[in-house]
Structure 1
Amino acid sequence: MTTSTYSLPQSERINSKKQIDRLFRGGGSKAMTASPLRMVYMTDTRQADSPSANAHQPMAQMMVSVPKRYFKRAVRRNYVKRQVREAYRLNKHILASHLAGMGDRNVSLCFIWTSDRLLPTAEVMKRMANLLTRLVEKLSATDNKNIPQ
């Protein structure tokens, strides 16, 4: 991912409307839940056309969504988003170690909060670690299917 394991630079966040549309409307995305977090993810292969652009492109990009439906006040929505980003930042090494071996693939992730109650940060961290571990298992299983015997 980056040189520092425990950082979350702007380049590792999804801010492109095209990428968000591809993640939610592209049809190639999958989802899993560790209540109250729902993770929507999509794997993609890097383009071989421009290797210089891919050298700086992170292997995983993420975004966080907390619907207004659950928290009317922006203060609470922002608090939950900070909790989720921090949990991802501290647990992304689980995913990074697996993606380093894949080389030509990258992953887009969206974490969606699905509850109207706040959780302690330790609980959010536990749920995030659970989701990322399950994601690595799924990616490993699909990689093993694609390898010719």
Structure 2
Amino acid sequence: MSYTFTKEERLCSKRLLERLFRNGSSFVVYPYRIVFLYSPLVQKDTIPVQCVISVSKRRFRQAVDRNAIKRRIRETYRLQKSDLYNFLQEHSLHLLLAFQYVGKEKEPYAMLYQRMGKVLAKLKDAHTQIYMGEAD
């Protein structure tokens, strides 16, 4: 697994974004609000996760601050995504994902990294509860 964050992994499609925010589930692990939507994997070669990162302009007026936070979030996700990718490929799933930063100030990188680990673990648990619970 390479530790890259390519263009194909970014969620840019307006149609998919609309579907994510209309039909997706969400949870909060401070300072993140996560909106996610699982769907079956259509093709084997596609990327299992597409994500978008947003930081509120209302909370961070300076573009420099918003971009710095997005850069930190992207980096923490990039370094920890391999476990989630393996899980999704085992279950033949595709995940649409939105990271929304809800914190009121810039948090240190170490805290963002630790919370990203919790977010990714919770995403795996959410899949297990939603889909494996229905099979019973």
TM range, normalised to the smaller chain?
A: over 0.9
Among 23, 28, 33, the alignment partner of 2:28 is: 33
The DSSP-based 3-state class of the residue aligned with 1:61 is: strand
Give 5+ residue unaligned stretches, structure 2.
none
Which position in structure 2 is the counterpart of 1:51?
A: none
Which position in structure 1 is the counterpart of 2:4?
A: 7
One-letter identity of the residue aligned with 2:45 = H
CA contact (8 A) 1:32 1:131 kept: no
Please list the CA deviations of residues 11-66 of structure 1 after superposition, one character each: whole Å capped at 9, or x if unmatched: 011011111111112x2x1111111111100011234xxxxxx2332111111000
Among 71, 88, 99, the alignment partner of 1:82 is: 71
Hey, what's the Cα distance between the residues in 1 that align with 2:109 and 2:88?
A: 26
The DSSP-based 3-state class of the residue aligned with 2:44 is: helix
Which position in structure 1 is the counterpart of 2:113?
A: 125
CA contact (8 A) 1:40 1:111 kept: yes
What's the C-alpha RMSD, in Å, of the aligned pairs? 1.4
One-letter identity of the residue aligned with 1:132 = L
CA contact (8 A) 1:37 1:113 kept: yes
Per-residue deviation, 1:124: 0.4
Alignment partner of 1:136 is 2:124: yes
Among 94, 103, 107, the alignment partner of 1:106 is: 94
Larger radius of gyration: 1
Give 5+ residue unaligned stretches, structure 1.
48-53
Among 25, 35, 41, the alignment partner of 1:46 is: 41
Please list the CA deviations of residues 51-99 of structure 1 after superposition, one character each: whole Å capped at 9, or x if unmatched: xxx2332111111000101100000000000011111101112311211
Report the TM-score, using the length of structure 2 for normalisation: 0.93
Identity %: 30
Hey, what's the Cα distance between the residues in 1 that align with 2:83 and 2:33?
A: 18
Report the TM-score, using the length of structure 1 for normalisation: 0.85
Per-residue deviation, 1:146: 4.0
